[in-house]
Amino acid sequence: MGYFPDWRPAAGATVLPDEKLPLAQALPMSLQHLLAMSGSTILAPLIMGFDPNVAVFFSGIGTLLFFLVTGGRVPSYLGSSFAFIAVIMAATGFAGQGANPNIAVALGGIVAAGLVYALIGLIVMAIGSAWVERLMPPAVTGAIGMSIGLNLAPVAVRQLTGSHAHLAIAAATVLCMALVSVYGRQATRRIAVLIALLFGYGLVLVCGNGLGLVPGIDFAAVAAAPWFGVPNFTAPRFEWSAITLIAPVAIVLVAENLGHIKALGAITGQNMDRYIGRGFLGDGLATMLAGAGGGTGVTTYAENIGVMAMTRVYSTLIFPMAAAIAILLGLSPKFGAILQTIPAPVLAGLAVCVFGLIASAMARIWVDNRVDFSDPRNLFTVGVALIFGAGDFTVTIGSFALGGIGTSTFAALLLYQLLGIRRRAEG
């Protein structure tokens, strides 16, 4: 078996990872994946004060790198990770609006997180992934993920402050995303973030630029921006205080990617466990590369897995095509200028939705895996982790600081193992 598959023409309704579609069918499919990832990949950098154009560019570069590292055998798109938001805002002191003046410090932490993630990938490639699954069972991964969402709650609430018009547009954006998510067709649910963003944007155009009821959108920068140009890359600056806050996010990315690869194996009917280490390595290297140039940390996207489950098209060749289009968009300053015009109340409404969903979606992990909360081991592990995360419990020793996401992560990992020692001895 070669490093890359010998992609054969698709023969049935289900297109397997090692099959290919004709270009006329593959191109619209790649655009669909681009739409699925775009809402979240654009929203995350805007909330952190990063350049969304650079994030889109590196999502394409990262997806190509992931494709190469996994040998074209794991169908995935890499987009901006929301796991970084809380720790980056803590490390940079960013309030959530405008450009982040301390982006270089955040980038140093992202590179460090990617390095830790890549090293874990190399270990998994050498000895297998069973130890990862023992270290991070569903009770632990759910607790860590929910802690991230709860830790971000104050950020979303702060963005809601403003005039009644500001709150009304934010509330309308929240309601739009909720209605699309609940009542929309399956295809539209996959792009609920994007639809809500466009709705809120249109609302500001009508009420602001049209009726003058709220501040309108200024398109001067869009008109002045060229169609093509080099993205605004930023070099990282490595500071120990930021690294200790941000690097532990690697644990969250491991749990996230592990779940995604397991899900891909389930929906494709092909066991992909042997590619878990490669997936970690590819994602880690992509995160390091993004952090080295001004992009956000990246992760495999559940939105794109949803598109695959809906269309039953799993061909890995779709994703380099989507990545190439993302790179071209990243090379357009005019596209980036348009992204920068997204109004603050729209971002505030989307933050409420997305941060809340990060927390609530973790409960599904517990339900799907039937986590037993009558077991004190699970109860104490989850309870302590949630308090540390929601309360942003920070441990500071000299210049070393570990924020709420870090303390929550390590509390969940350590408590679960510590409370299982006697059981293993008795077993």
For residue 59, pLDDT over 90 is answered with yes
* Residue 63 banded pLDDT, cuts 50, 70, 90: very high
* Distance between CA atoms of residues 400 and 388, nearest Å: 17
Name the more confident of 2 and 115. Answer: 115
Residue 168, pLDDT > 70, answer yes
CA distance 309 to 260: 12
In the predicted model, what is the mean pLDDT of residues 56-69?
94
Whether the Cβ atoms of residue 10 and residue 21 lie closer than 8 Å to each other: yes
pLDDT tens digits for range 207-223: 888 887 777 888 888 88
Which residues have a Cβ under 8 Å from the Cβ of 272 and sit 6 or more positions away? Answer: 73, 74, 261, 262, 264, 265
Q: What is the pLDDT of residue 193?
A: 75
SS3 at position 20 = strand
Residue 83 and residue 75: Cα distance in Å, rounded? 21
pLDDT digits (tens, 9 = 90+) for 96-145: 677 888 999 999 999 999 999 999 999 999 998 888 888 888 888 888 87
| pTM listed for this prediction | 0.82
* Structure confidence by residue, pLDDT tens digits, 285-322: 999 999 999 999 998 887 787 778 777 888 889 999 99
* Between 192 and 314, residue with greater pLDDT: 314
Phi, psi dihedrals of residue 148, rounded to the nearest 5°: -65, -45
Q: Within the chain, what is the greatest distance between any pair of CA atoms? A: 72
Dist CA 421 CA 287 (whole Å): 35
Whether 226 has a pLDDT exceeding 70, the answer reads yes
